[in-house]
Amino acid sequence: MTKVSSEQLAVSSEQMYSEQGISLKSPRLLSEVEVSGDLGSKKQSSHDLNPWLVIKTKTKCEKFVRDKIRNMGMDAFVPLKKRTAKYNRKVKVYELPLISCYTFVRLDKERRNQVLSLPYVMGFLRMGGKDCLVSDHEMQWLHKVSGIDQEVTTEILSMQQGDQVMIAYGQLAGMEGRIVSRRSKHEVVVALESLGLQMVLQVDPVMLVRQ
């Protein structure tokens, strides 16, 4: 049996990888390696591996924020719906956000503050103290329905007993609590635990946002 030295083995390995366009002297992440074959050539950066997040914007500023983020070299997306307005002499088609005040973004963590400093950005959508992560499957749906002629609407998921919520409107705006029970379709009972008391109020569900 012929013995192969470590130096020969290293040279052989380097030659094998160099034929595939991968340098052992300057290793790259797998996500940055150019892949060729039946799928064609594709170069994927580590940025593409980041999850999609949701930015809360001021009303009617979703597309403005999207364009600003794209100009910064990051992925941003706003699903749109078409609305047709008929005037006396013409018909005009508008593209409006499918989900009001939401802009979807994929970014590196170190650029988070850059996005938060943009005009009309109110913050990231968070639930349970964590950023809301949008799955690739959900993003595919949003891309498919964006701009189609078929009527598409979105509705807030109904809140359930035990959900942590915050009152968003009225004199008690900002108070956090937990849904104790539902009295009717238009009324829930919320325990405002942030007061340090088990004060129970009847609050219209439209005033609540899930935490």
- Architecture of the domain delimited by 50-145: 2-Layer Sandwich (3.30)
Tell whether the torsion through CA atoms of 70, 76, 82 and 83 is positive or negative: negative
Q: Over the stretch 28-72, which tens digit does the pLDDT of each residue have? A: 332 333 322 333 334 555 556 899 999 999 999 999 999 999 999
123: which residues sit within 8 A by CB, 6+ positions away?
A: 55, 56, 116
Structure token digits, residue 13: 């390995």
Rounded to whole angstroms, the Cα distance separating 98 from 104 reads 12
- The CB-side HSE value for 111 (13 A sphere, CA atoms) comes to 15
Q: Over the stretch 78-89, which tens digit does the pLDDT of each residue have? A: 999 888 888 888
pTM above 0.75, yes or no: no
Rounded to whole angstroms, the Cα distance separating 108 from 16 reads 33
Q: Hey, what CATH topology would domain 164-210 get?
A: SH3 type barrels. (2.30.30)
Q: What is the mean pLDDT of each run of 10 residues along the chain (211 residues)?
A: 47 44 36 32 58 94 97 95 83 87 94 96 89 90 84 72 79 79 75 65 76 71
- Which residue, chain included where needed, has tokens 């470590």? 6
**Could you tell me the residue ranges of all domains in the chain?**
6-44, 50-145, 164-210
